[in-house]
Chain A
Amino acid sequence: MLTFTLRRILMSIPVLLAVTVLVFTLVELAPGDVSDFFVNPELSGSPEAVQEMRRNFGLDQPAPVRYGIWLSQVMRGDLGFSFVSGERVMTMVLRRFRNTATLMGVALTFSVIVGVSLGVFVAVRQYSLWDHLLSGLSFLAVSMPAFVTGILALYLFAVVWPIFPSGGIRSVGQAASFVDRLHHLILPSLVLALMQTATFMRYTRFSVLEVLRADYVRTARGKGLSERGVTRKHALPNALIPVITVIGLSLPVLVVGAVFTETIFSWPGMGTLYLSAVSSRDVPLVMGLNLFIAVVVLAANLLTDVAYGFVDPRIRYE
């Protein structure tokens, strides 16, 4: 297991490098750079100031040199400074990551618990009214992107019937409170969770049905175990193993959802940070965010595989 993990980590290094080179090239090819952001379109900003700024940011160096400088910085654990705010990229990313992780964590927990429970619930009632109803709804849910559910949720629960705040992670001007945080979290996290809940439900249903048809379950039935006992003791543990993979692989989907959810609910997370970094051509921030996201996604994939190895004794990693 250890060698497997190590090998996977080593294998991800070229992947990470490839991602950063790809993004750096894209950013390079585009017209304009951060100095544009600072020249105020409405009044001030002189060409001299622009030149000075480019020198300060090292933008007068050729692109490969800049990539090299960036890479050697990263080797030393330093993602550099944002062009726009002058803050350390690492500080900004970690601060936003906390908010995104909260949002995703709550959404993922909700969707796993509700999705898997509903999946089992309808699987043991295959072709019942519940099965048809929930399966149909889950189909609707997987076809609803976060920007549609987000706008709908905002319209219904913050405009028409304003029971939830329209955005932000907490109220300001009062002592921090858990209730207040939760109040702000409910709408965006449910929006983010919806599609995943449906996905997990569908996978769980499928997986449980597969297992229920399997020979060893028939054997268990044959031994005279009650249907409930069969499901709980034999079918469920085996059926849930493949679901773990789906959960592990859901991270990229959540990242996508987070970009929209954070935008609609003014959530100060990585998605909105990425959008503003890209639109202000803040190269160190764009690069840092990409690297960070790539590391997180690769780590999640690795964790999934390792977890899979633990729960399924049939799988051996060499």
Chain B
Amino acid sequence: MSEAATEPAAVAVRRPRRIENRLLRRFVRNRPAVISTLVLSVIVLLAIFAPVVERYPFDQMQLRERSQPPSAEHWLGTDRIGRDVWSRTVHGARVSLIVGFAATGIAVLIGVVLGSLAGFHGGWVETLIMRFTDVLMTFPPIIIMLTLAAFAPRGLWVIVFIIGGLSWPGVARLVRGQFLTLKEQEFVAAARALGNPGPRVMLVHILPNALPPLMAMISFGIGNAILTEAGLSFLGLGVPPPAPSWGTMLEAARNLDILRNLPWTWLPPAAMTVITVLCVNFIGDGLRDATDARMVL
């Protein structure tokens, strides 16, 4: 933006800064969203500092202490081969959040590029991109993901790319829609009239404006990616062991002995999945409310 400031004409097309402040203020007024942000921050911190907060290495067996209920030694008990459930749950947060953020990052990248191209160019580029988007949107992505996950080699990053690579259509549609709206607005027209090249207009003038509504979508996207990873792992098609994915930990509960006698091994990952997704959804909701209101302004 500092570069823009040196161009007198550009100053006129900049949005007033206080709108961002207002957005923040609206978000802060949404109590569930704020609480969720705090809770999610704690989860993120736990994930980052997992090696510090874990009581034992997440894959360390202590066969003499197998299948133990929660105690002072093992806050959430141990599983059937004596691994500490707390440590595994905390490490599971890493897997979930890596997948959540990375997959959504990929989806946003693809979606923004394709959506911008479609929205800015129009014509056959737009038709091609949007038809392709339609194909992906009409078909339940989980079906393709299941096929991919079953036929591809196993791995954390494979899952990230599968989820990210199939979750972008929503973003592409939204970005294109924003482009179509903003393209006609005065500040864009002004920027173009001043002879700014296309990519520059896209990057500097249109994209930042598309950002607020995108933020809500990113938030929901992270929630979805976390659920998808847990779901694929639950079906045995996700992140391979020994990485302690919440979905894998929950999947173990399909064994009757674990389901009935060791609830402490599968309740924590189930609760963490729900809490994380709940937070992300509340935050997304808060962002949407805040940005929707801005659109009215």
Q: Do chains A and B touch in the complex (CB under 8 A)?
A: yes
- Inter-chain contacts of A279 with B (CB < 8 A): 150
Chain A residues positioned under 8 Å from B260 (CB to CB) = 155, 159
- Contact of A15 with B135 in the complex, beta carbons under 8 Å: yes
Q: Is B147 a contact partner of A147 (Cβ separation < 8 A)? A: no
- Complex Cα distance, B259 from A22, in Å, reads 38
- The answer to whether A144 and B274 have CB atoms under 8 Å apart is yes
In the complex, are the beta carbons of B259 and A297 less than 8 A apart? no
A264 → chain B closest CB, angstroms: 7
Report the Cα distance A18→B134, complex, angstroms: 11
Q: Does A294 touch B at the CB level, under 8 Å?
A: yes
A30: B residues at CB distance < 8 A: 150-152
Cβ-defined contact, A143 with B281, below 8 A: yes
Say whether A84 faces chain B, with CB atoms less than 8 Å apart. no
Cβ contact within 8 Å between A256 and B254: no
Interface string of A116-156 (1 = CB under 8 A from B): 00000000000000000000000110111101100110110
| Complex CA–CA separation, A260 to B231 (angstroms) | 8
B285 CB, nearest partner CB in chain A, Å: 8
Q: Which residues of B, 197-252, contact A by the 8 Å Cβ criterion?
A: 223, 227, 230-231, 234-235, 247, 250
- Chain A interface: which of B63-71, B138-146, B171-179? B138-146
**What chain B residues lie within 8 Å of A251 (beta carbons)?**
140
B152 touches A139 (CB 8 A): no
Determine the distance from Cα of A23 to Cα of B135 in the docked complex, in whole angstroms: 13
Interface status of B105 (Cβ within 8 A of chain A): no
A90 located at the interface, meaning its Cβ lies under 8 Å from any Cβ of chain B in the complex: no
Q: Which residues of B contact A281 (CB under 8 A)?
A: 151
Q: Are A142 and B281 in contact (CB under 8 A)?
A: yes
Interface secondary structure of A, over-half rule: helix
Inter-chain CA distance A301–B277, complex, in Å, is: 28
Complex contact A143–B270 (CB within 8 A): no
Q: Are B247 and A252 in touch, CB under 8 angstroms?
A: no
Q: A249 to B150, alpha carbons, bound, how many Å?
A: 26
- Judge whether B58 is part of the interface by a CB distance below 8 angstroms: no
Q: How far is the CA of A251 from the CA of B137 in the complex (A)?
A: 12
From known contacts A23-B144, A278-B150, infer whether A147 and B282 are also in contact, taking CB-CB under 8 Å: no
Residue of A nearest to B143 (CB): A293
Q: Which residues of A contact B82 (CB under 8 A)?
A: none
Complex Cα–Cα for A81 and B285 (A): 48
Residue in B139, B148, B235 whose Cβ sees the most chain A Cβ within 10 Å: B139
When the two chains form their complex, are residues A27 and B227 in contact, meaning their CB atoms are under 8 A apart?
no
**Residues of B at under 8 Å CB distance from A?**
32, 131, 134-135, 138-144, 146-148, 150-152, 223, 227, 230-231, 234-235, 247, 250, 253-254, 256, 259-260, 263, 266, 270, 273-274, 277-278, 281-282, 285
